Amino acid sequence: SVAQQLIMCRSGSDEVIRSSFSWSGCRTSPQADIQSVGVACLEFQLYFPLKITSSHMKSPVVLQSDTEFWDKMQAEWEELARRNWLEDSEDQRPIPPTVSPAEKGYYFNTNNPYRDWPNAFTEGQDKAREGDLNAAVLLLEAAILQDPQDSEAWQILGMTQAENENEQAAIVSLQRCLELRPNNLPALMALAVSFTNSGMQREACDALRRWISHNPRYRHLVQEGRSPLRGSPLCELQDVLLLFQEVALLNLDCVDPDLQTGLGVLFNLSSDFNKAVEAFSAALSVRPQDYLLWNRLGATLANGNRSKEAVEAYTRALELQPGFIRSRYNLGISCINMGAHREAVSNFLTALNQQRRTQRCSHQQMSANIWSALRIAISLMDRPELFQAVNIGDLDLLMRAFDMADV
C-alpha cells in the first residue's frame, strides 16, 4: 500500500514539519514557509512551527527565495480577505438592509454557475459527501445567496471550506451560522477546530466552553455557578480542559465521540499529544468510518513526532474520503518529515488539482498553504528550475514535470 511504501522511506532523526490539526494548521511570520507550514491540518489546522535541520538548509538563497514566496502568497491572501463580496460584481443583488459583519467578510465566487440553481443546498450537501468540494462550495454559496438566513447552509459551507483548506472562509461561515443559531453544536465544535488551526487559542477555548453550555447533557456544569477563569490564555485553556475532563467523568459507562473530540483539541492545544491520541482513538471506537476523526488522529500523531503512524491515519481518511484535500495536504507534510519529498510533491499537486477540478480556479483561489508546502518540498528536492512555476501557479507545468496526469 501507499502507506507501507512511505513507512519504508528513510525518516531521519529530525522532524522537518509538525502537522497542523488540519484535522481539517497557524500561520506564522514569513520565515514560515519553512518554519510554519507546520501545521499539518487536522481538519484542525493548527500551524505548529516547522523544524528545519542544517541538512535541509541548502543555501541562504533558497531560504530567501522561500521567504519572498511566502510574503507574496500572504499578501495575496490578505488582499483577498479584504475584498467585500457585496462590491465584487455589478450584477450583485441589492444589499440587504441588515447584513451581518460575518456575512460581509465572506468572499463569494462571482462567476458561480449555480447562482439560481434549484435545490442548491441539497445538491451541495450531496457533493460535499461525495468529496467534490469545489462544486459543494459553489452550490452552498448559491443556496446562501438565495436565502442568507439559512443557518444550516452556512454550517455546511464552513465545514466544507475547512476540508477544502480554506480556513478563513470556514471561520466566517461558521460564525455566521452561530449568529443565526447559537446552539448549533456541530458548528461550535468545527469553529473550535478552525480557530485552533488559525492559532487563535482563546477563541478556540471560548467556542468549546460554549459547546458545553449549549449541550443539554452537560450545560448544568456551567450553569451551577461555575465562572470561567479570566486571565492568560494558558489559564483559560486549563480551565476549559478541566471542565471537559469533569464532563468526561459523567460518561464512564459510554463514549461520547463529540466530547472526546473536544478533549482531543484541548490536549493538542496543551501539547499533550499522547492524551490527544487517546481521545481521538476513543472517538474512533464509536465512529470508525469518520474520515475527519482519522485526519485529526493523523495530525495529532504527526504533531507528536509519530509521522509513520500519521501516514497510516491519513491514508485511512483518504480511503474513506478521497476528495479530502486537507488530509491530502497533511499527508504531504508527513512525507516531508519522513524525507519522502517526491511523494510529498505528488500529494500537494494532487490536492491542488482537486481544488481546481470542478472549476478552473485561479492561483489565488487555490490554497496558499498547499502552494507554500509545495515550494518547500521542491526546494528540498533541489529543483530551483521549478520555482517560477510555483510562483505563477503553473500547475500544468508542475504536473508534467512530475509525470502526473490531470485527472
CA–CA separation, 246 and 220 (whole Å): 12
More confident residue, 74 or 173: 173
CA–CA separation, 405 and 394 (whole Å): 14
pLDDT at 170 over 60: yes
- Cβ pair 211, 226 in contact under 8 A: no
CA–CA separation, 131 and 147 (whole Å): 24
CA–CA separation, 89 and 225 (whole Å): 50
| CA distance to 61, 126, 139, 170, 349, per residue, from 114 (Å) | 46, 14, 6, 20, 27
- Cβ pair 155, 174 in contact under 8 A: yes
CB within 8 A of 240, min separation 6: which ones?
Answer: 205, 208, 209, 228, 266
pLDDT at 17 over 90: no
The three three-digit cell numbers of residue 70, written as one number: 511566502
At residue 61, the pLDDT reads 38
More confident residue, 218 or 407: 218
Give the least confident one: 39-43, 119-123, 169-173, 272-276.
39-43
Q: Which whole number is the average pLDDT over 255-278?
A: 96
CB within 8 A of 119, min separation 6: which ones?
Answer: none
Number of H helices, E strands in the chain: 21, 0
pLDDT at 32 over 70: no
Dump pLDDT digits (tens) for 349-402.
999 998 887 555 434 456 788 999 999 999 999 898 999 999 998 999 999 999
At residue 102, the pLDDT reads 56
Residue corresponding to grid cell 467585500: 84
pLDDT at 24 over 60: no
For the residues of 27-49, what is the DSSP string, one character each? ---TTHHHHT-----BBS---PP
CB within 8 A of 309, min separation 6: which ones?
Answer: 298, 301
CA–CA separation, 118 and 149 (whole Å): 17
Kindly report the pTM of this predicted structure: 0.76
Q: What is the 3-state secondary structure (H, E, C) of 232-268?
A: CHHHHHHHHHHHHHHHHHCCCCCCCHHHHHHHHHHHH
At residue 253, the pLDDT reads 84
Dump pLDDT digits (tens) for 297-351.
999 999 999 999 999 999 999 999 999 999 999 999 999 999 999 999 999 999 9
Which among 280, 388, 287, 375 is positioned nearest to 332, based on CA atoms?
375
The three three-digit cell numbers of residue 204, written as one number: 478556540
Q: Which whole number is the average pLDDT over 213-229?
A: 74
CA–CA separation, 280 and 273 (whole Å): 10
At residue 224, the pLDDT reads 57
% of the chain exceeding 70 in pLDDT: 69
Residue ranges of domains in the chain: 2-401
Class of domain 2-401: mainly alpha
At residue 406, the pLDDT reads 65
Q: Which whole number is the average pLDDT over 33-62?
A: 38
More confident residue, 18 or 113: 113
pLDDT at 260 over 90: yes
At residue 316, the pLDDT reads 98
At residue 88, the pLDDT reads 32
Most confident range, picked from 36-45, 205-214, 229-238, 377-386? 205-214
CA dihedral 246→247→250→254, nearest 10 degrees, is -130
At residue 38, the pLDDT reads 45
CA–CA separation, 17 and 305 (whole Å): 9
> Residue 178: exposed, middle, or buried by beta-carbon count in 10 A (0-12, 13-18, 19+)?
buried
Dump pLDDT digits (tens) for 124-160.
999 999 988 989 999 999 999 999 999 999 999 999 9
Read off the pLDDT band of 7 (50, 70, 90). Answer: very low
The three three-digit cell numbers of residue 241, written as one number: 480542559
Phi, psi of 22 (to 5 degrees): -25, 35
